[in-house]
Amino acid sequence: MERRGSVLMQRYEIGRLLGQGTFAKVYYARNINSGQSVAIKTIDKERALKVGLMDQIKREISGMRLAKHPNIVELHEVMATKNKIYFVMEYVKGGELFNKVAKGKLPEEVARKYFQQLISAVDYCHSKGVYHRDLKPENLLLDENENLKVSDFGLSAIAESTKQDGLLHTTCGTPAYVAPEVISRKGYDGEKADIWSCGVVLFVLVAGYLPFHDLNLMDMYRKIANGEFKCPSWFSPELKRLTKKILDPNPSTRISISKIKESSWFRKGSDEKLLRKGKTNVRAAVAIHNSSTADVKPDSVKLANLNAFDIISFSTGFDLSGLFEERECKREARFTSRRPALDIILKIQDIARRLNLKVKKKENGILKMEGLNDGRKGVLEIDVEIFEIGPSLHLIEIKQTNGDSSEYQQLLEEQVRPALEEIAWASQCDQPQL
């Protein structure tokens, strides 16, 4: 049990209990070095193993690691001891959206703002191949500025989870918010199922009650399967039309997110910046607009130092990399080198030139390699960070931050990895970890 005032991993001072469930507790905490407020979710490892929760924990970590967006709760890091697993997350102090709805229905203008932010976050998740599968007001938090934050990726799935038919087959979610095709157990498209849940959330926000409700669970499932619901009289005509298109029981004719964004109700009272928030603003937050590789001077890149804790956190016992499937390791590759940092930086720039990639420098010293053209899932972006472990030892971490995973994987395996072999040891994925 964590005690108030105790210090976790010499980094976080534990504060008050924020909430708890059957297998986890969430505490307010403060980073001792930076003073940053965080929320720390603690999970009892032995109990999680006994009840088979490890797969769910892996999904939650995978989903949150991939989804970096202003309207998604950020996962800062994952740590573990012999008995506990710790999720260090963004602290969102406004509480659940559910608490607002519990007091009564919301005006359409207010509900529209939350719905726009929800759609922006979900669209971004889908672009990364992440499907939430449990969207409901209880899993939507509000920050101090009343901005929505999607949380709880415990039931999420990623694109690689689909079977040969390209569909998901696990029946999960909260009954009143789950799509009819999920109930049918015949396989479903994760994107379409999430869109349905967003529609139920929208209905609840403006109506103040669920569209599909019955004390008899089977009768409620029948109503969901048939799309039997009625919009209340205070819904505007535009909202009624949009709601019916979202809560279409046929996934093949259900409205897409792109069409939702084009609808008159969704666009009302907003500007283009808000409508593009899921893509343009996120991209702007991670890119520095230098025009060519010549703009990045090797001596302008500040290296990060790794202390003993940072080195330990790369090991399987503390960052839970042993819980990730192989694909997670492939998304992040680490190399060690005894060459000077200048040689490494010049090598990265040389690789970028040969691959026709731009090199930019982020404010925190990370080099970003960026493609010139849009791929299947946007422009491919790769972060390269060089850590100074000691005077003659550096760690090179390469991480995909945008674009298509298969395109990144091909580039890493066929071009980047062979080019780094002359200055670096094999990647962390191929050899025992530090």
* Cβ-Cβ contacts under 8 Å for 165 (sequence gap 6 or more): 187
- Find the catalytic residue in 134, 152, 383, 404: 134
Provide the H-helix boundaries in 143-301: 180-184, 190-207, 217-226, 237-246, 257-262, 264-267, 272-275, 282-286
Binding residue per annotation — 261?
Answer: no
Q: 179: how many CB neighbours lie within 10 A of its CB?
A: 26
* Cβ-Cβ contacts under 8 Å for 335 (sequence gap 6 or more): 395, 396, 398, 420, 424, 425, 426, 427, 428
Q: At what angle do helices 190-207 and 108-127 cross, to 10 degrees?
A: 170
Provide the H-helix boundaries in 128-189: 180-184
| Cβ–Cβ under 8 Å, residues 395 and 306 | yes
| Cβ–Cβ under 8 Å, residues 203 and 243 | yes
Residue with tokens 């999430």: 194
User: β-strands 304-305, 378-390: how paired?
Assistant: parallel
| Cβ–Cβ under 8 Å, residues 86 and 11 | no
* Cβ-Cβ contacts under 8 Å for 365 (sequence gap 6 or more): 301, 302, 303, 304, 385
Residue 189 appears among annotated catalytic residues? no
Cα–Cα distance between 120 and 411 in angstroms, integer?
29
Known binding-site residues for ATP equal 50
Question: Which residues belong to the annotated binding site?
Answer: 50
Active site residues: 134
